[in-house]
Structures are given as C-alpha cells and as structure tokens.
Amino acid sequence: MKKFWEIEGTKREDITPEFLFNHRRKFIQGGTLFGMASLLPQWAMAAPKFPAKLNEKYKGEKDLALTKEDLATSYNNFYEFSLDKAEVKKKVESWNLTETWSVNVGGLIEKPKSHSVADLCDLAGGVEERIYRFRCVEGWSMVVPWTGFSLSKLIEKLAPKATAKYVRFETFGDKKIGTNISNQPQYPWPYVEGLTMAEAMHPLTLVAVGMYGKPLPRQNGAPIRMIVPWKYGFKSIKSLVKIDFVDQQPKTLWNQLAPNEYGFYANVNPKVDHPRWSQASERILDGGFFPKKKPTLMFNGYEKEVAEIYKGLDLAKNY
C-alpha cells in the first residue's frame, strides 16, 4: 500500500521550469543555454539531476497549503550567519558556495568516505519531492515542498555496524563562511544534531537538496540538509559536512546550550510546553502582521507514522 507521502498531489503553479534541472548537463557543456546560466546560483551546477518528470511526480498531502516560496526563503534560522531571521538571506551572499562541497560519511561503517552531493543522491537511488509540515520550536510553522531522498535509503547502502546506535550530523564550522560564528563564542560550534538509528531509518526522514523544485538556497541550508518533519525545526540541521554513525547519543548544539529547553528528541508535542512559552498552537507563516494560528498536532501530524518508534518512552520526560 502506498504511504501518504507517495500519493500524487495537486500540481504547483509556481514550480521552476523543469529545464533548469533536466538541462543541467547541457548548461555545463554548453555554458549559456538560453542565456540562463548566469541566473542560476553558482553552485547549482553541482546539484544532482532531478527526476525527469518532476512536475508530474509532485507528492504529498493534497490539503496542505504551501507557504509562499519567498517567505520560506527569507525568514530563516541560520545562526552561523545571523540571529536575525530577516538578515540571513543577505548575509549568505558572501558565501561562495562551489560544487566541490563534500560530505564526510564515517564512524561505525565499513568504508568511511567523502561524498559529493550528487554521489549521495545517486547512492540513495535518486531524489523525489515531498511536501512536509515544518514546525519551529519558536512557535511558527510552514509547509514546504522539499526535494531529496530518505536517509534510510542511504543508510541501507552504507551498511553501518551493529554497534551504531545514533547518527550524528555536523554543519561547517568555518568562521570565514559563517560570519556570525565569531560573534557568538558561547555557542558550542559547529552546529551538531543527532537521531537514533530508528529515527534515522524512518522513511519520513529526508536528506534534502532542494525546495520548491530548485536547489536549496544558501539561506535554507545549501547544498544538503536534514528534514525531520515530526521534530522541531532545530533538529533539521543545515549545510551538512559530516555524517557519523556512533554508539553514544551525540552532543547537540541546542541541547548543550539549554538542555531543559531543547531536548535531544524534540518531537513536536502540543502537550509539553517550552519552559518559556506554550507549544499548544502555532503561527502559520504568511507574512502578515497578525498571522493565523492553528492547534499544533502531536508529532506535527505524523503520529500515525512515527509513534511506533517511541513506544515505552515517556515523551513528556524525553522532550
């Protein structure tokens, strides 16, 4: 039976012309096909080949209204660049992201190796589009069409050892790229996140390389990031440089900074408040001064899919 995220959804009007992706190789070979190459972000050449019929394969939940692309790409949490959401987009401009980006995959696996983004997509058997709810611990939410692959598909290929209990993810810590890193010496940089193996193997856990049918913009975590839709947004670490299979619970940035506010699990849970605010409802990111509110759903609406993972765990305590 098809999972809900495999259901064909409504088509999006604002989807990027397919040729941006399908003709990637032509761009590389021919330089300025249609004179468009200069409009692409510099690193887009490094983006993996998207599925040939992306528009037809638009998957997700039909009833979810997408957040406007310009909002989702201009209201960002990316502390390496700025603590001000509206500033991030401007601050990433000096980041000269090139196609030489690589992700070091290691720890408890047979063959630790450095992979290009395209390699990882190929290893996982290609990418697809998924529409997910995204709920930030701060109380705002959006709905985004991501492009990527299930981390589980990659893990199956990497065959971690039986002693691997967690996956640890790391972002770049280069102060020359993240121009705000030096301004926040109290943070335990680099940004690190983690998942249990069961969470990492859940098919909803996505490694994203694109959004709105385009390569990830720098402010949203280019060129490759995690998306864990049933957890608060801070678990969805951006701009991955390292993935390690480990036997200890990784020390994550937010958990180290404020363990009573940002738990390791951080599952979206309307019944467990943040010590400083309620998590019962959320503001729908719509650009308005008085955003609409809606009740927050257990596991951000993915309870049916993921509750099994947490059987026997007191979620109120393991926040």
Q: Which of 154, 279, 128, 252 is nearest to 194 (CA)?
A: 252
Q: Which of residues 145-174 bind ligand MTE (CB under 6 A)?
A: 171
Q: Is residue 236 involved in binding ligand MTE (CB under 6 A)?
A: yes
Separation between Cα atoms, residue 166 and residue 248, nearest integer Å? 7
Q: Is residue 223 involved in binding ligand MTE (CB under 6 A)?
A: no
Q: Is residue 238 involved in binding ligand MTE (CB under 6 A)?
A: yes
Q: Is residue 191 involved in binding ligand MTE (CB under 6 A)?
A: yes
User: Which of 80, 128, 199, 244 lies at the binding interface for ligand MTE (CB under 6 A)?
Assistant: 80
The pair phi, psi for residue 211, each rounded to 5°, is -150, 150
Residues in contact with ligand MTE, counted by CB under 6 A, come to a total of: 16
Residue at 219: amino acid letter: Q
Q: Per-residue x/- mask for ligand MTE, residues 250 to 289, rule CB under 6 A?
A: ----------------------------------------
Q: Is residue 129 involved in binding ligand MTE (CB under 6 A)?
A: no
Separation between Cα atoms, residue 280 and residue 1, nearest integer Å? 33
Q: How far is the CB of 291 from ligand MTE (least distance, A)?
A: 15
Residue 271: helix, strand or coil by DSSP?
coil
Query: Closer to ligand MTE at the Cβ: 160 or 190?
Result: 190
Q: Single out the segment in contact with ligand MTE by CB under 6 A; choices: 53-61, 97-105, 154-162, 235-243.
A: 235-243
Q: Is residue 130 involved in binding ligand MTE (CB under 6 A)?
A: no
Q: Which of 116, 126, 77, 129 is nearest to 254 (CA)?
A: 77
User: Which of 239, 252, 255, 267 lies at the binding interface for ligand MTE (CB under 6 A)?
Assistant: 239
Q: Single out the segment in contact with ligand MTE by CB under 6 A; choices: 3-11, 43-51, 118-126, 228-236.
A: 228-236
Q: Is residue 79 involved in binding ligand MTE (CB under 6 A)?
A: yes
Query: Closer to ligand MTE at the Cβ: 160 or 167?
Result: 167
Separation between Cα atoms, residue 133 and residue 113, nearest integer Å? 32
CA distances from residue 84 to 76, 80, 87, 271, 281 in whole angstroms, order as listed: 8, 11, 5, 28, 23
Signed CA dihedral, 128, 133, 137, 139: sign only: positive
* Residue carrying the six token digits 């980041």: 95
The pair phi, psi for residue 298, each rounded to 5°, is -55, 135
User: Which of 67, 77, 141, 255 lies at the binding interface for ligand MTE (CB under 6 A)?
Assistant: 77
Number of H helices, E strands in the chain: 9, 12
Query: Closer to ligand MTE at the Cβ: 54 or 228?
Result: 228
Q: Which residues bind ligand MTE (CB under 6 A)?
A: 76-80, 136, 171, 191, 220-221, 233-234, 236-239
